[in-house]
Amino acid sequence: MTTDLHSVNISKEALFDIILAGLEAYAIKHDGQDVVAIETFAHMWGRTNKNLPFKCYVDHLTPETSAARTRGSVTASDISLELKQDIAAIFGKGFEYIGTMHSHPYLKVEQGEKGEVYEYDAKTIRKKKFYQCSDTDHKSEFTSSTVTVGKRKYSVAVILTVHAMDRARDELDGAIDEQVFEFSLGNLKMWLFAQVFEHVDSDDLTDQDVSEFGKFELDIKKFDDEFTFPIPVSTKLNCEALGTSGFLLDGFGRLKISDKDSLYTNKKQAEKRFWHKM
Ligand SMILES: [Zn+2]
C-alpha cells in the first residue's frame, strides 16, 4: 500500500449530476414505492492518472434507473454495467469507468420494518459519520476493482448524504476533513464523501493494511477465504465547484418531507433569509 494521498476530483458537471440524482430519489415518490427518500445509485466515468499516486477525475455520472432502490439499500444489475462499459469504450478517452456513487437519505423521523422509530438530525449524522461508507458499502467493494495503475488496483466510492432539516442552517458548511464536504441548499443538508480502495492480494497484506481494513467496522477475520482485500486508503476529495463553503450565497427552496410524502416550496416563495434577498 502507498501512503500518498489518493485523490478523487469531481467536476462541476459531475457534481450537478450527483446532486440531481440524489435529490430526485430523496424528494420524489417513485413508481411502485410507497415511501419517499430512497437511495440512488450511479456509475461514474472520467479519467485516471497513469502514474501513482492514484488520481481520478469524475466527469460523468449515469444513474441506474433500473436499480432496486429502497430507503436502506440499493442493488444494481451487472448486465447494465457491462452494457455501459461497452458504450463508454466506443467513446474512448475521458470515459473510463471509475466507480460508483450512491446516496444515504435520512429523514427526521423514520419508521423501521417492525414499527420502531428512528430519529435523525444533522448533528447525529455528523457525530456518527453516517455520511461515510457503511460496513455493507465496504463489503460491496470486494467485487472486482475498477481502475488499474501500473500493478496496483483500485476502486472508488462516492456517497451523497441528504437530510432535510427543519430550517436552513449553513453555518457549518465547508470541509469536515480531507474526504468529506458539508454543504446545503435551503434546508437540505448534504455531505459529499469519497473513498478510494486499494485492492491488495492476501499474500501482500501489511499490518497497516489489516488495521486500515477496519475503518468501516468490517472484521478482516471474517473474510479469510477471500484472495483480494479492498483496503480503504487515505483519500482527498477535490471539488472546485463547491469552493470553500459550498453554495452559501445561493438562495434555494424548502423541502418538507416525511416518510410517505414530500412538498417542495420553490426559492421565490420560500427564501426569506436576509442575505438572499439582497
Ligand atoms: Zn451506503
pLDDT value for 159: 97
Tell me how far the alpha carbon of residue 3 lies from the centroid of ligand 1, in angstroms: 25
pLDDT value for 164: 95
Taking a 5 Å cut-off on Cβ, the residues next to ion ligand 1 are 134, 137
6-277 classified as CATH 3.10.590.10: no
**Domains in the chain: boundaries:** 6-277
pLDDT value for 278: 61
The strand ranges marked E within the chain are 6-10, 41-48, 55-63, 68-69, 74-75, 96-106, 109-111, 117-119, 147-149, 152-164, 174-177, 180-185, 188-201, 228-233, 235-238, 254-257, 262-265
pLDDT at 191 over 90: yes
133-to-28, 100, 165, 197, 268 alpha-carbon distances in Å: 24, 12, 22, 11, 36
108-to-35, 117, 161 alpha-carbon distances in Å: 14, 10, 13
Phi and psi angles of residue 69, each rounded to the nearest 5 degrees, phi first:
-115, 130
Average pLDDT taken over every residue of the chain: 90
Tell me how far the alpha carbon of residue 102 lies from the centroid of ligand 1, in angstroms: 6
Confidence class for position 120, pLDDT limits 50, 70, 90: very high
Tell me how far the alpha carbon of residue 263 lies from the centroid of ligand 1, in angstroms: 25
For residue 243 the three cell numbers come to 469552493
The terminus-to-terminus CA distance of the chain in angstroms comes to 51
Look at 66-80, 102-116, 145-159, 168-182 and tell me which has the smallest mean pLDDT: 66-80
Tell me how far the alpha carbon of residue 97 lies from the centroid of ligand 1, in angstroms: 19
Tell me how far the alpha carbon of residue 190 lies from the centroid of ligand 1, in angstroms: 14
pLDDT value for 3: 54
Tell me how far the alpha carbon of residue 230 lies from the centroid of ligand 1, in angstroms: 16
Tell me how far the alpha carbon of residue 41 lies from the centroid of ligand 1, in angstroms: 10
